Structure formats: structure tokens, C-alpha cells
């Protein structure tokens, strides 16, 4: 039997924690809870959860700072930001600092569960993954699909799970152009939902900053104007 996946809930509103715990446990997830940012960070680093649901407005340390600190300490745990705010700037900031996804409160439990599932999907796939294939783009950028590590010129590139997923998806279909909506469906694992395609642009930008020598003139992940993105067939 597969071990239960553990969801860390970092949220200071007890009634939200209660309803999240109830619904997650009903779907066979184990849960951990923290009611402020500091203990959330501590649990995220110490208890190795499979995913973190992270509120923004928290006592002691806000959700953005928790996420930033997690990434600075090398954690690549999937993070879904729970934001009460509608502002696009907040969503983008969350993604800029290394969150994998965000969901705006009030959210439907069905939507949240779909996001949780989609965001830990890769981990589950990894458990059943076959031999340690490497994807060598022939240009010093190498993806090890068993260890989920990406190296460039022999140096490890620190990617979030989503950045890794996007890179491996595009790199395994070189030359094929994908629209933002295609990528939302293929990489994010959920259908097109409103303005969320902006997420794709932000993730592409972050990925370029990490793998390209000159992010403004990318050679790996290219833009087909008015259509979408593709991985260079020959770099
Ligand atoms: Ca709060």
C-alpha cells in the first residue's frame, strides 16, 4: 500500500484549518498544522511534508517570507499559497519567490483538492518511475529524470518542482510550440481557468533566469510570439 501523502497546513484561522484537515483526511491525506509562519517553516523543514498549503497573512512571519526562506534553505516541497487578496501582484509575487501555485480565498474545497493532487502528482510519478534516464540537450544542460536534478555545465541548477516539470515537458518535445493553455493542462494538470495562464509566463521567466546565460536572449526556452513557448530543437 502506498504511504499516505502528508499535507502541511500553515494557516492562523482555526476554522479554515479545521475544514482543510477534515477534507484532506477524508481524501486519505495525513495532515500537519501550524498556526504561525515561524512554526510553519520549522515543520516544513523538519517534517518533510509532500506539500504545503501556505496562508499569506500569518503571525510572526508572513507566508511570502516563509516560502522565500524554504527555497533559500534548498527545500523544493510544492507550495500552494492561499491568498485572501485578489490582486494580481500578490499572485505574481508568490510565484516569483518560488511558490508552485496559488489559490484565492474563498476557495471551493473541490478546487483546492484538485490543486493539491495536481501539485503532488510528480512525486507520486517519481516513486514509480523507471530507470534513471537522463535527458541531455547536447548543450551542457542535463536533466536526470530519476533524481530530478538539472545540471548546466556540470553545475546543479536549483529548480522548483514546477520549473522542473515545465522544463522536462518542453525539452522532451523539442521544437513543438505549446500555448499557455496547453501548458496549463499538460504541466499544471488542470484545465484553463481564467487569468491563470499568467502563471505560465512567470514560471517561464523564472526558469530562464536559472538556465539561460542571458535570460533576455534565451537559447533553450523560446517564445513563439502570439502562440506560446517551445524548447529549441537545436541550441
Ligand atoms: Ca491569515
Convert the pLDDT of each residue in 10-63 to its tens digit: 999 999 999 999 999 999 999 999 999 999 999 999 999 999 999 999 999 999
With cut-offs at 50, 70 and 90, classify the pLDDT of residue 127: very low
pLDDT value of position 138: 62
* Res. 158 pLDDT band, cuts 50 70 90: confident
Residue 178 pLDDT: 93
Q: In angstroms, what is the span from residue 57 Cα to ligand 1's centroid?
A: 4
Cα of 213 from ligand 1 centre, angstroms: 39
How many CB atoms lie under 10 A from the CB of residue 68? 17
User: Residue 194 gets which letter from DSSP?
Assistant: G
Tell me, in angstroms, the distance from the centre of ligand 1 to residue 19's CA.
Answer: 15
Query: Mean pLDDT over residues 168-173, rounded?
Result: 86
What pLDDT does residue 184 have? 85
> Separation of 12 CA from ligand 1 center, angstroms?
5
Residue scoring higher pLDDT (194 or 230): 230
Give tens-digit pLDDT for 199-211.
Answer: 899 899 999 999 9
- Ligand 1 center to 58 CA (angstroms): 5
- What region, left, alpha or beta, does residue 57 occupy, with left being phi > 0 and alpha being psi -120 to 50 degrees? beta
Distance 74 CA to ligand 1 centre (A): 25
Q: How far apart are CA 131 and CA 231, in angstroms?
A: 24
pLDDT of residue 160: 83
Across residues 181-205, what is the average pLDDT?
Answer: 78
Q: What is the CA(137)–ligand 1 centre distance, in A?
A: 44
Q: What is the mean pLDDT of residues 167-178?
A: 88
Strand 141-144 and strand 51-55: the pairing is unpaired
More confident residue, 72 or 97: 72
Residue 16 CA to ligand 1 centre (angstroms)? 9
**Average pLDDT estimate for 85-102:** 74
C-alpha of residue 11 to centroid of ligand 1, in Å:
6
Give residue 155's pLDDT band: very low, low, confident or very high (50, 70, 90).
Answer: confident
CA 179 to centroid of ligand 1, rounded, Å = 35
Peptide bond into 149 cis (omega under 30): no
pLDDT band of 171, cuts 50, 70, 90 = confident
The yes-or-no verdict on residue 183 having pLDDT over 70 is yes
pTM of the full structure = 0.64
Amino acid at each position: 500500500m502506498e504511504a499516505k501523502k502528508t499535507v502541511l497546513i500553515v494557516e492562523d484561522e482555526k476554522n479554515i484549518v479545521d475544514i482543510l484537515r477534515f477534507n484532506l483526511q477524508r481524501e486519505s491525506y495525513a495532515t500537519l498544522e501550524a498556526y504561525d509562519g515561524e512554526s510553519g517553516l520549522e515543520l516544513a523543514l523538519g517534517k518533510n511534508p509532500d506539500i504545503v498549503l501556505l496562508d499569506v497573512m500569518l503571525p510572526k512571519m508572513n507566508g511570502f517570507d516563509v516560502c522565500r526562506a524554504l527555497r533559500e534553505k534548498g527545500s523544493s516541497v510544492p507550495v500552494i499559497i492561499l491568498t485572501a487578496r485578489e490582486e494580481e501582484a500578490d499572485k505574481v509575487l508568490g510565484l516569483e519567490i518560488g511558490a508552485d501555485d496559488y489559490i484565492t480565498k474563498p476557495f471551493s474545497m473541490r478546487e483546492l483538492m484538485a490543486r493539491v493532487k495536481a501539485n503532488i502528482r510528480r512525486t507520486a510519478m517519481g516513486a514509480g518511475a523507471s530507470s534513471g534516464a537522463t535527458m541531455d540537450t547536447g548543450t551542457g544542460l542535463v536533466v536526470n529524470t530519476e533524481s530530478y536534478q538539472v545540471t548546466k555545465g556540470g553545475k546543479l541548477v536549483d529548480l522548483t518542482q514546477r520549473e522542473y516539470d515545465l522544463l522536462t515537458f518542453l525539452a522532451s518535445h523539442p521544437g513543438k510550440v505549446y500555448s499557455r493553455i496547453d501548458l496549463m493542462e499538460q504541466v499544471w494538470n488542470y484545465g484553463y481557468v481564467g487569468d491563470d495562464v499568467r502563471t505560465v509566463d512567470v514560471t517561464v521567466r523564472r526558469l530562464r533566469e536559472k538556465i539561460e546565460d542571458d535570460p533576455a536572449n534565451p537559447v533553450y526556452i523560446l517564445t513563439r510570439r502570439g502562440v506560446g513557448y517551445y524548447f529549441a530543437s537545436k541550441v
